[in-house]
Amino acid sequence: MIIDYASRPPVPEFTQTATGHLQRYRTVYGASEKAAQSRPATLEDYLSAYDAAGAQHVVVKARDLESTFGWKISNEDVAAFCRKQGERFIGFAGVDPHKGIAAVRELEHAVRDLGLKGLNLQCFEHKLAINDPRMYPLYAKCIELDIPVNLHTSINFATSTLMEYGRPALLDEVMVHFPELRVCAGPPGFPWVHELIGVAWRHANVHIGLVAVRPKYLNTPGSGYEGLLAYGKSILQDRIIFGSSFPLMPVEWCVDEINALPLDETVKRKWLYENAKRFLRL
């Protein structure tokens, strides 16, 4: 039984039609994307893969990058997909912080009227730091609506924007100002993995999304991810959340690699299911 916190369905509404800033990702993730796309090539195959994996829930996310890169995956399309596919799928809203109060109103509409359950902010794509003041009204609205926020915290490979926008230390400042904010920070911080671990250790409402990185690297010496295994099976075992990031990687790869890690069964269950269930308040 799993909850996949990060997945993009193979349907036109989720297709990124203006992805020039993401072309470097095709090089970095080329091998794993090829493996993923050779499996669930259709929506039917995609849904069957989650049946086979025993997925109770799958989180799919909108993105509004109109101000910076001129495209979006709309809240309406995400909500429609979730309604059509049923309770297994949980949608997160995407809004553009550059739109000011209009973004705040759009978030409220997405949650109250469309039924979306969280907010997705890929800060490097907005060309805004995690602690930029333009983000603060959205954080406050998340607390008011009692929804979590997903934040990108790691290196990014889009060289038209800054890597620094996703630095985990910036999240520390946000959490000091908004201690009630529920955050999943992912990918898990590279090259600032220990910095993100420190932020999560300091702030009980910060979770770490094990997304867009192969879990096997947590047990690979010299990878930079080793700290996640050490802390993720001890003081942070309740705050690691699994996501395949399909189509970056096949779902079954990720699950198999987590099961192969030197973790006891209780911790594996937390990473794959229980932590996300609690974070999402299911």
% of residues, the chain, pLDDT over 70: 91
Q: What is the pLDDT of residue 160?
A: 79
Q: pLDDT at position 85, please?
A: 98
Give residue 159's pLDDT band: very low, low, confident or very high (50, 70, 90): confident
Per-position DSSP letters for 134-188, written without gaps between them: GGHHHHHHHHHHT--EEE--S----TTS-GGGG-HHHHHHHHHH-TT--EEE-S-
In this prediction, residue 32 carries a pLDDT of 55
pLDDT > 90: percent of the chain: 86
- Contact call for residues 236 and 203 (beta carbons, < 8 A): no
C-alpha distances in angstroms, 215 versus 168, 175, 209, 239? 20, 27, 11, 15
pLDDT in tens, 185-200: 999 989 999 999 999 9
Is residue 38 scored above 80 in pLDDT? no
Task: Please state which of the ranges 3-7, 69-73, 92-96, 178-182 shows the lowest mean pLDDT.
Answer: 69-73
Average pLDDT, the chain: 92
Residues 199-217 have pLDDT tens digits of 999 999 999 999 999 999 9
**Cβ neighbours of residue 222 under 8 Å, at least 6 residues apart?**
none
CATH number of 2-279: 3.20.20.140
The pLDDT tens digits of the residues spanning 54-109 come to 999 999 999 999 999 999 999 999 999 999 999 999 999 999 999 999 999 999 99
Q: What pLDDT, on a 0 to 100 scale, did the predictor assign at position 22?
A: 60
CB 203: neighbour CB atoms within 10 A? 20
pLDDT at 39 over 80: no
What is the pLDDT at residue 40? 53
**What pLDDT score does 211 carry?**
96
